C-alpha cells in the first residue's frame, strides 16, 4: 500500500521542477506550448521508414534538459512508464511486415524498422510533453491553453483532475487498507467486491466534487480559472519560438544526417 502513497509524492515532482527559475522556465507558457506542438507535429509527420532523419530531433529535449537544469534520471523514469504501451503498439510490426531491406550491409526486416521508428517517435513526443510540464507547470500551461481559446471546460477538467488525482488515490488507499485489514491472507481485492468497491469510490468522488465546487463558488468562482498575471509575449519569447520552428522545419525538409554523411564521404573520396 505504501507504494500507492509513494507514487503520490513522486507525482508532484513535475510541479516542483516547474517552480525553478531558469531561462527556459521564464519563457512565456504560450510560446513553450506552441513550440512543443510544432515539435510533436513535425516528429509525427515522418514516414514509417525514416529513422535517420528523426535523429536531429533528439537535440531539442537534450537542450531543454540542459538549459532548464532538469534532473535526467527521474524524468527518464517517467518516460519509461509508457515503454510497455509503445512495445504493445509496435511489437506486431516485425511479424506482419516481412519485407527486408539492407542497412549498412546488414539485412533486416522492415517490420523492425517501423517498430524502431514508432519507438523513437513515441520516446521523443512523450519526452517533449513531459519537459513542457516540467518547465511550465500545470497552472501556467492551462493559462496558455486558454489563450489558444481552448474551451474553459476542458482546461478546468484537466486542472482539477490533476489536482484531485492525489485525493482520489488517498481515498483508494484508505479503502484498500480498510479492506485488507478485514480480509487477512488475501492478495489484492476479491473479484466479487470490485463492483461495490468501484461504486463506493465513485459515490465518494461525487460527494467530494460537490463540496469542492461549493468551496470554489463561495470564493467567487464563475467558471473562469484565474491563474494570475502572465506577462505579454516578449521579443525573446518570439525569437525562441521562431528559432525552434525554423530548426524543426529545416530538419523536416533536409535529411541532415545524410547530408553530413555525404559531406564526409565526399571528402574521403
Residues near another protein (CB under 8 A): 8-9, 12, 15, 19, 137-139, 160, 163-164, 166-167, 208, 211-212, 214-222, 224, 226-229
Contact 15, 217 (CB under 8 A): no
Contact 158, 143 (CB under 8 A): no
Q: Give the C-alpha separation, 92 to 226, whole Å.
A: 46
What's the closest the beta carbon of residue 133 comes to another protein, in angstroms? 11
Q: Which is nearer to another protein, 12 or 77 (CB)?
A: 12
Q: Residue 107 — φ and ψ, nearest 5°?
A: -90, 120
What's the closest the beta carbon of residue 19 comes to another protein, in angstroms? 7
Q: Which is nearer to another protein, 164 or 197 (CB)?
A: 164
Q: Give the C-alpha separation, 134 to 91, whole Å.
A: 30
Q: Which is nearer to another protein, 197 or 221 (CB)?
A: 221
Which residues make beta-bridge pairs with 106?
A: 103
Q: What angle do CA 187, 8, 32 make, to 5 degrees?
A: 140
Contact 217, 187 (CB under 8 A): no
Contact 102, 13 (CB under 8 A): no
What's the closest the beta carbon of residue 1 comes to another protein, in angstroms? 17
Q: Which is nearer to another protein, 211 or 236 (CB)?
A: 211
Q: Which is nearer to another protein, 226 or 265 (CB)?
A: 226
What's the closest the beta carbon of residue 231 comes to another protein, in angstroms? 11
What's the closest the beta carbon of residue 235 comes to another protein, in angstroms? 22
Amino acid at each position: 500500500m505504501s507504494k500507492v502513497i509513494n507514487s503520490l509524492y513522486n507525482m508532484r515532482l513535475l510541479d516542483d521542477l516547474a517552480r525553478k527559475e531558469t531561462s527556459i522556465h521564464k519563457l512565456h507558457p504560450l510560446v513553450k506550448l506552441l513550440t512543443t506542438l510544432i515539435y510533436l507535429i513535425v516528429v509525427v509527420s515522418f514516414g514509417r521508414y525514416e529513422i535517420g532523419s528523426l535523429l536531429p530531433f533528439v537535440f531539442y529535449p537534450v537542450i531543454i534538459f540542459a538549459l532548464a537544469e532538469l534532473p535526467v534520471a527521474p524524468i527518464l523514469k517517467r518516460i519509461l512508464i509508457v515503454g510497455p504501451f509503445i512495445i504493445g503498439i509496435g511489437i506486431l510490426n516485425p511479424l506482419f511486415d516481412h519485407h527486408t531491406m539492407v542497412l549498412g550491409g546488414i539485412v533486416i526486416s522492415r517490420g523492425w524498422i517501423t517498430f524502431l521508428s514508432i519507438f523513437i517517435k513515441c520516446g521523443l513526443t512523450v519526452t517533449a510533453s513531459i519537459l513542457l510540464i516540467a518547465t511550465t507547470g500545470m497552472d501556467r500551461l492551462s493559462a496558455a491553453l486558454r489563450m489558444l481559446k481552448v474551451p474553459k471546460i476542458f482546461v478546468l477538467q484537466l486542472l482539477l483532475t490533476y489536482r484531485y488525482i492525489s485525493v482520489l488515490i488517498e481515498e483508494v488507499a484508505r479503502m484498500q487498507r480498510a479492506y485488507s485489514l478485514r480480509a487477512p491472507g488475501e492478495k489484492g481485492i476479491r473479484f466479487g467486491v470490485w463492483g461495490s468497491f468501484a461504486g463506493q469510490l465513485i459515490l465518494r468522488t461525487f460527494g467530494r466534487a460537490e463540496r469542492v465546487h461549493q468551496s470554489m463558488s463561495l470564493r467567487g468562482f464563475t467558471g473562469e480559472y484565474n491563474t494570475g498575471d502572465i506577462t505579454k509575449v516578449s521579443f525573446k519569447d518570439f525569437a525562441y519560438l521562431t528559432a525552434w520552428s525554423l530548426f524543426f522545419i529545416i530538419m523536416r525538409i533536409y535529411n541532415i544526417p545524410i547530408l553530413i554523411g555525404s559531406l564526409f564521404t565526399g571528402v574521403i573520396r
